[in-house]
Amino acid sequence: MATGSSPIIRAASPDDSIAMAAVVREAASPLMRETTILGGVGLDRFIRDQIASEAANRFLVAEVGGHIVGMSAWRYEGEELFLNHLFVHPSAQGRRVGTSLWARGLAGCNTGAARTLSLDVYEDNTRAAAWYRSLGLEPVAQRIVMAVPIPSVSPTADQAWSSTFLGPADHDYSQYGFSQFTLNTRRSTYTIGRLGTDFFRIASSVLLDDETALAALHRLDPRRRLLGFDAPDRWEAAAGRGAVLLGRTIRLTIPIEQLAARLGKTLSEAGG
């Protein structure tokens, strides 16, 4: 697909969504596709709608020889500029496509309010992790990725709950293959992801301590497991409920000025 030409970096348009989704599917690891929205059957429609709606993410694409070979998505997360996604088609890796996406993203997406850049990387994505570390990014936190079976229990009369499982969330699921809904119990309100056909994604394993929530999720879809991203110190409690460790993610960060200098030097030395 790729040639030796220098990549052209530009803002993504809705019409790029099919090519962008194809790059993601080729570049993302099996675990990433299994445990994130990147494996959704409607990923291209989701990207298209995100770009068209001018959502929080700002998307860039990289073209070589008229073909889209890379994409990135950026957003603000508090006072940080967050690199949500960066993918380069395997045929174009090692040709400064990723570096060029980085440089353009920093120049075009940062309004000056952010001083640091952060990203999450799957531990098993060793090539990307090594590249990020070579640019000076340092690890600051780790999360475990785990799958937890939902116990086959039914809520009792005093375990009242409600959810938005149907309605708009159901429409999103039919379009994209994933959606979010809320689950309300007397104990708390939870935001739950419905991911593919295998998982309910939970923001924290504290939900495991809410028997009403567990009973409700089993009633909504007894075939699914809970997918959790949580701090390592939550593992012991989850393991006691039959959790399976799927992998780990690492949060990396770097001062933006430092990263911009490293990227500029890399592109200059390469003649980019």
In a domain, 127, yes or no: no
Please indicate, yes or no, if residue 132 is contained in any of the structural domains.
Answer: no
Look at residue 261 in the predicted model and tell me its pLDDT: 86
Does residue 169 carry a pLDDT above 90?
A: no
What is the DSSP code (8-state) at residue 256?
H
- CA quadruple 255, 259, 260, 265: dihedral, nearest 10: 150
Q: Tell me the CATH number at 94.
A: 3.40.630.30
Domain hosting 32: range is: 8-119+256-269
Q: What is the pLDDT of residues 72-109, one digit of tens each?
A: 999 887 778 999 999 999 999 888 899 999 988 888 77
pLDDT of residue 54: 76
Q: How many CB atoms neighbour CB 239 within 10 A?
A: 13
Domain count, the chain: 2
Q: Tell me the one-letter amino acid at 119.
A: L
**Residue 88 identity (one-letter amino acid):** V
In a domain, 138, yes or no: no
Closest CA to 70 of 2, 137, 156: 2
- Verify that 71 and 150 share a domain, yes or no: no
> Are residues 137 and 252 in contact, defined by beta-carbon separation less than 8 angstroms?
yes
Structure tokens at 251: 């949060």
Residue 158 resides in a domain: yes
CA atoms of 113 and 122, how far apart (whole Å):
28
- 246, amino acid identity: L
Given this model, what pLDDT does residue 227 score?
97
Phi and psi, residue 81, nearest 5°: -90, 125
248 pLDDT more than 80 = yes
Looking at every residue in the chain, the average pLDDT score rounds to 90
State pLDDT tens for residues 2-27. Answer: 445 789 999 999 999 999 999 999 99
Measured between alpha carbons, how far is 230 from 143 in angstroms, rounded to an integer?
Answer: 5
| Most confident segment among 1-15, 88-102, 149-163, 183-197 | 183-197
pLDDT value, residue 30: 92
- Give this prediction's pTM: 0.89
pLDDT bin (cut points 50, 70, 90) of residue 265 is: confident
Angle in degrees, CA 17, 22, 27, rounded to 5: 125
The structure tokens listed for 127 are 């090539």
Please tell me whether residues 165 and 239 are part of one structural domain.
yes
pLDDT of residue 112: 64
Q: Are residues 55 and 109 in the same domain?
A: yes
Residue 137 lies in a domain: no
pLDDT band at 113 (very low <50, low <70, confident <90, very high): confident
Q: What is the pLDDT of residue 204?
A: 85
- pLDDT recorded at residue 41: 93
Q: Does 128 map to a domain? A: no
Task: Examine the domain organization and report whether 22 and 111 are in the same domain.
Answer: yes
Q: Is 1 within a domain?
A: no
Same domain, 13 and 87: yes
Residues 239 and 185 occupy one common structural domain: yes
- Do residue 40 and residue 76 come from a single domain? yes
The verdict on 103 and 196 lying in the same domain is no
What are 101's two structure tokens?
Answer: 């996406």
